[in-house]
Amino acid sequence: MSETITPQPEELETNHATEAAEQEEPQISLQDEYLQVVKELEGDAEGFASADEHLRLSYAQRQRGALKWAMNPIVLSEEQYELLERAATTMGSIMEKIMAKYHRDRSFRALFGLPKAVEDLTMVPSGCHAAVPLSRIDVFFDPTTNDFQVCDIVTGSVDGMAPSAEVNRALHRTNAYREFSERYPHVRSIDPVRECVLSLMHTYGKWANAEEGRNHPTHPSLAVVDIPNSPRAAETSTVIDVLHDLGCFARATDFSQLRIQTVGGVQQLVDDQGPITCVWLRARIEEALEAGKGMQVLADATRHGLVCTVGGYRSWPCCTRAFMQILRTNREARALLTYHERAFVDAHVPMTYVIEPSTDLSMFYDQENWIIKMVDGFPALSLASGSKMSKFEWRNRLIKGIKRHDAVQERLPRHRMTVCAVDENGQPFEECKNIMLGLYVFESAMGGIRATCGTGTTVADWDIVEMSCLVVEE
């Protein structure tokens, strides 16, 4: 008679774990799964041609000719999207609190060190219920760890919405997308252009004078004001098309056309096409200042309640490097925030120092870990990485930065992923690139995501490739 051997509990656990491991298939990320689909289709040249034809006939062609874009998108799970959505709303809340104090406290404003002309413009009332109605928070996001770091903030012009929307639409024409969406029927993208327009309309509707006189709370006479030959002109035309679809009388105009005129005993802001009750000011703040009389007319009209002006001029301090330094180091600013918001800042906003004669530059001698930016909201104009400079060049750059009050910021880690595209000859190729996500925040709520990638030490020298961003509800 054979002897019966009873397994011990430890052995049973081991055997079950082994069986489970053998049965469980290796996990593949949504990102890699989409790339795998593209590879199985040998680059999906047919789909690329169809999508590229759409882009040639769209905003991309009007803006800057051929648009560089990727065949594989950023693919987020619902959980990852919700994480980024919380980040967007948290940052939106933080900006609202900081700007509220900025506008009521002169000594707090002085911390930003803005030139008087700029500071004066930031103090012109807008008529908006939100201090920062439109913004984009740029982050480096690592989908493998779900960690992210804020690298830049843009308010007012919030460009990049149209290429994001167009690349999303183009991707839908590819065979790879069709196959992926069959596997995941609940896949979606968000159109930031439409969300921006809805936010503009809502902001105008809440304006105190929206129902007075000849105004109409749901159908404003809206002008997108910018400089002549603006690099944002084609994107503006896309926004205006959406405004027209919603029954809004909208047009693009420039500062030279603006004037205050009395019609039937009532003062109105007008341009060459008639009265204006709502303005989206897309020009950046120094562009607006250079407009001279035109910007003064708009400021006067806004100040006297003739028009609701949505734009970045009043929220410009959020774009500066000083804003990030204040968030990390200023007690008054941090006292405005909740415990959760302070923890968010410490975890996701890079340490930033606006350098002055009293600054100990030796803090930055470990140059591999630092970059230097101009202190205003245009870091790309003069952005350098210590990792790409000799010791002498780096220290000389720091010394020169003192005079301009430049900012030194932590060099942030970037997530790299394989990007699949098609070259000029129609041949598929792959390249590993850095990824950046732009979180659109409209009235402190997420309004879409712009995904871009590129190579280079800093974003300023990236060869930008637009990507679609998809969200999968598994």
pLDDT digits (tens, 9 = 90+) for 195-204: 999 999 999 9
Q: What pLDDT is stored for residue 215 in this prediction?
A: 84
Q: What residues contact residue 247 under an 8 Å CB cut-off, 6+ apart?
A: 218, 219
Q: Is a pLDDT exceeding 90 seen at residue 184?
A: yes
* Percentage of the chain modeled with pLDDT above 90: 70
**Chain position carrying tokens 């010394």:** 399
Which helix (H) or strand (E) element contains residue 298? helix 293-303
Residue 272 gets which letter from DSSP? T
Paired with 76 in beta bridges are 471
Domains of the chain: which residue ranges? 31-319+414-472
Report residue 28's pLDDT band, with 50, 70 and 90 as the boundaries. confident
Q: Is a pLDDT exceeding 90 seen at residue 110?
A: yes
Q: Which of 65, 66, 55 lies closest to 171, judged by CA?
A: 55
Q: What pLDDT is stored for residue 62 in this prediction?
A: 52
For residues 82-105, average pLDDT: 97
CB 158 within 8 A of CB 136: yes
For residues 142-153, average pLDDT: 94
CB 53 within 8 A of CB 426: no
Question: What per-residue string of b and e applies to 414-452 under the rule 16 or more CB within 10 Å gives b?
Answer: bbebebbbbeeeeebeeeebbbbbbbbbbbbebbbbbbb
